[in-house]
Amino acid sequence: MDTSKHILSTLFQQLGLAADDAGMEQFVRQHSPLPPEVVLADADFWSLGQSQFLREGLEDDSDWAEAIDELSALLRH
């Protein structure tokens, strides 16, 4: 069982994205602002696998949900 704490950088790693501060900041800048009516998992910049992971993480209220919510908020700022 995975007992590690899922924070924003581990979410980026899980999604196959650069997880260092510079990489995360660049991703957020590149894809912001995400319109409020767009569900995070439906954004056009995700692959199918990334989209499914985000959707399932929120639907299942998994350990990833908090980090996914944080990413969503960053992209909408």
pTM of the model: 0.91
Q: How confident is the model at residue 1, as a pLDDT?
A: 43
Domain ranges of the chain: 8-76
Q: What is the pLDDT of residues 7-42, one digit of tens each?
A: 999 999 999 999 999 999 999 999 999 999 999 999
Q: Which CATH superfamily includes the segment(s) 8-76? A: Uncharacterised protein PF10982, DUF2789 (1.10.10.1130)
* C-alpha span between 74 and 26 (Å, rounded): 12
Mean pLDDT value of segment 43-71: 97
Q: How many CB atoms lie within 10 A of CB 14?
A: 17
Mean pLDDT value of segment 51-61: 96
Q: How confident is the model at residue 3, as a pLDDT?
A: 54
What is the band of 72 on the pLDDT scale with cuts at 50, 70, 90? very high
